[in-house]
Chains A and B, each alone.
Chain A
Amino acid sequence: MATRMKLKLKTVFVLYFMVSLMGLIYALMQLGQRCDCAEHDMPKDRTISRLRGELHRLQEQMRKAEPTKLPQKLAVKPAQPTIYVITPTYTRFVQKAELTRLAQTFLHVPQLHWILVEDSPHKTPLVSGFLASSGLAYTHLHTPTPRDRKLQEGDPSWLKPRGAEQRNEGLRWLREDRRGQPGADTQLGVVYFADDDNTYSLQLFEEMRGTQRVSVWPVGLVGGMRYERPVVEGGKVVRFHTGWRPSRPFPLDMAGFAVSLKLVIANQDACFDGDAPMGFLESSFLQGLVTMDELEPKAENCTKVLVWHTRTEKPKMKREEALQKQGLGSDTAVERIKAR
Chain B
Amino acid sequence: MPKRRDILAIVLIVLPWTLLITVWHQSAIAPLLAIRKACHHLVKEIFIIPERLAVHRHRLADDGADRGRREAGQSSDSKEYCSSDKDIVEVVRTEYVYTRPPPWSDGLPTIHIITPTYSRPVQKAELTRLANTFLHVANLHWILVEDSQRRTPLVTRMLRETGLNYTHLNVETPRNYKLRADTRDPRIPRGTMQRNLALRWLRETFNSNSSQAGIVYFADDDNTYSLELFEEMRSTRKVSVWPVAFVGGLRYESPKVNAAGKVYGWKTVFDPHRPFAIDMAGFAINLRLILFKPQAYFKLRGVKGGYQESSLLRELVTLNDLEPKASNCTKILVWHTRTEKPVLVNEGKKGFTDLNVEI
**Interface: A71 (CB within 8 A):** yes
Q: List 6 A-B contacts (CB under 8 A).
A: A24-B19, A71-B87, A73-B95, A135-B50, A224-B343, A224-B345
Instruction: Kindly identify, within residues 289 to 340 of chain A, every residue whose CB is under 8 Å from any CB belonging to chain B.
Output: 303-305, 308-313, 315-320, 322-323, 329-330, 332, 334-340
Q: How far is the CA of A76 from the CA of B93 in the complex (A)?
A: 14
Residues 317-343 of B, flagged 1 when their CB comes within 8 A of A and 0 if not, give 000000000010011110111111011
Number of interface residues of B (CB under 8 A): 87
- A218 an interface residue at 8 Å Cβ cutoff? yes
Instruction: Write the nearest CB–CB distance from B279 to chain A, whole angstroms.
Output: 13
A336 contacts B245, CB within 8 Å?
Answer: yes
Best-surrounded residue of A23, A202, A225 (most CB of chain B within 10 A): A225
Contact of B269 among A20, A316, A319 (CB under 8 A): A319
Chain A residues in 8 Å Cβ range of B243 = 334
Per CB-CB distance, the 5 closest pairs between chain A and chain B, nearest first, are: A243-B346, A319-B249, A224-B346, A97-B335, A308-B125
Which residues on the B side are within 8 Å of A266 (C-beta)? Answer: none
B13, B88, B228, B338: the one within 8 Å of A338 (CB): B228
- Residues A135 and B54 in contact, CB atoms below 8 Å apart: yes
Interchain nearest-CB distance for A120 vs B (Å) = 20
- Contacting pair B121 A334 (CB below 8 A): no
| Given A34-B31, A227-B359, A308-B125, A330:B252 Cβ within 8 A | yes
State whether the Cβ of A104 lies closer than 8 Å to any Cβ in chain B.
yes
Q: Are B269 and A323 in contact (CB under 8 A)?
A: yes
Contact between chains at B87 and A72 (CB < 8 Å): yes
A288: interface (CB < 8 Å): no
Q: Whole-angstrom distance between the alpha carbons of A49 and B90 in the complex?
A: 11
A178 to chain B, nearest CB (A): 17
* A267 on the B face (CB < 8 A): no
CB distance from A327 to the nearest CB of B (A): 14
Chain B residue, CB-CB nearest to A70: B90
Q: Contacts A218-B357, A227-B359 hold; do A97 and B224 have CB atoms under 8 A apart?
A: yes
Query: Which residues 35-83 of B have a CB within 8 angstroms of A?
Result: 35, 50-51, 53-54, 57-58, 61-62, 77, 80-81
What CA separation (Å) do A73 and B336 show in the bound complex?
39
Q: A100 to chain B: which residues have CB within 8 Å?
A: 224, 226, 335
Q: How far is the CA of A221 from the CA of B249 in the complex (A)?
A: 28
A263 to B235, CA, bound (A): 51
- The reply to whether the CB of A43 lies closer than 8 angstroms to some CB of chain B is yes
Indicate if the CB atoms of B135 and A108 lie closer than 8 Å. yes
**When each residue 6-18 of chain B gets 1 if its CB lies under 8 Å from chain A and 0 otherwise, what string results?**
0001001100110
Whether B13 lies near A17 (C-beta < 8 A) is: yes
Q: Which of A142-199 contact B (CB under 8 A)?
A: 199
* Stretch binding the partner chain, chosen from B20-28, B145-153, B171-179, B293-301: B20-28
Does B104 belong to the interface (CB within 8 Å)?
A: no
**A-chain residues with CB within 8 Å of residue B80 when the two chains form the complex:** 35, 38
**Is A40 located at the chain interface by the 8 A CB criterion?**
yes
A residues near B91, Cβ cutoff 8 Å: 49, 71-74
User: Known contacts A225-B347, A330-B267, A334-B330; is A135 also within 8 Å of B51 by CB?
Assistant: yes
Interface residues of A (CB under 8 A from B): 13, 16-17, 20-21, 23-24, 27-28, 30-31, 34-35, 37-38, 40-41, 43, 46, 49-50, 52-53, 56, 69, 71-74, 76, 93-94, 96-98, 100-101, 104-105, 107-108, 110, 133-135, 137, 199-202, 218, 220-221, 223-227, 229, 241, 243-244, 303-305, 308-313, 315-320, 322-323, 329-330, 332, 334-340
* Residues of the B chain whose Cβ atoms lie less than 8 Å from the Cβ of A229: 357
Name the segment of B110-118, B126-134, B205-213 touching the other chain: B126-134
Q: Are B270 and A202 in contact (CB under 8 A)?
A: no
Q: Are A104 and B249 in contact (CB under 8 A)?
A: no
Task: Identify the closest chain B residue to A220 (Cβ).
Answer: B359
Instruction: Tell me, yes or no, whether B344 is within 8 Å of chain A by CB.
Output: yes
Compute how far the CA of A37 lies from the CA of B26 in the bound complex, rounded to whole angstroms.
12
* CB-based contact A317/B251 at 8 Å: yes
> Are A137 and B249 in touch, CB under 8 angstroms?
no
Asked whether A53 lies within 8 Å of B85 as measured between CB atoms, the reply is: yes
| List of B residues within 8 angstroms of A98 by Cβ | 224, 337
B343 to chain A, nearest CB (A): 6
Task: Given A49-B85, A320-B251, answer yes or no on A135-B339 (Cβ-Cβ < 8 Å).
Answer: no
Decide if B87 touches A110 in the complex (CB within 8 Å).
Answer: no
Interchain CB contact under 8 A, B340 and A312: yes
Whether A310 contacts B122 by the Cβ 8 Å rule is yes
Given contacts A72-B87, A315-B246, contact A27 B352 (CB under 8 A): no
Given A49-B85, A336-B332, A199 and B347 contact (CB-CB distance below 8 Å): no
A73 to B340, CA, bound (A): 41
Q: CA of A335 to CA of B267 in the docked complex: distance in angstroms?
A: 16
Min CB–CB distance B91 → chain A (angstroms): 5
Which among B51, B128, B338 is the interface contact of A107 at CB below 8 angstroms?
Answer: B51
Q: What is the CA–CA distance of A315 and B348 in the complex, to the nearest angstrom?
A: 30
Interface string of B254-271 (1 = CB under 8 A from A): 000000000000010110
Which residues of A have CB within 8 Å of B327?
339
**B358 interfacial contact with A, CB 8 Å:** yes
Whether A20 contacts B16 by the Cβ 8 Å rule is: yes
* Cβ–Cβ contact A311 & B132, under 8 A: no
Chain A hits for B28, CB < 8 A: 37, 40-41
With a CB–CB cut-off of 8 A, which chain B residues contact A329? Answer: 251
Query: Which residue on B lies nearest to A302, using beta carbons?
Result: B357
Whether the Cβ atoms of A201 and B128 lie closer than 8 Å is yes
- Whether the pair A104, B136 counts as a contact (CB closer than 8 A) is yes
B179 to chain A, nearest CB (A): 17
User: Is B119 close to A, CB under 8 A?
Assistant: no
Q: Binary interface profile of B, 211-227, with partner A (CB < 8 Å = 1, else 0)? A: 00000000000001111
Q: How far, in angstroms, from A315 to B224 measured CA to CA in the complex?
A: 13
Name the A residues within 8 Å of B357 (CB-CB).
Answer: 218, 226-227, 229, 303-305
Contacts A53-B85, A303-B357, A320-B250 given; does A199 touch B125 at CB 8 Å? yes
Assuming the A-B contacts A20-B16, A227-B353, A311-B339, are A330 and B62 also in contact, with contact meaning beta carbons closer than 8 angstroms in the complex?
A: no
Q: For A74, list chain B residues within 8 Å (CB).
A: 91, 95
The residue on B at minimum CB distance from A28 is B23
Q: Are A312 and B344 in contact (CB under 8 A)?
A: no
B residues less than 8 Å from A96 (CB atoms): 335
Q: Which of A93, A104, A339, A340 contacts B133 (CB 8 A)?
A: A104
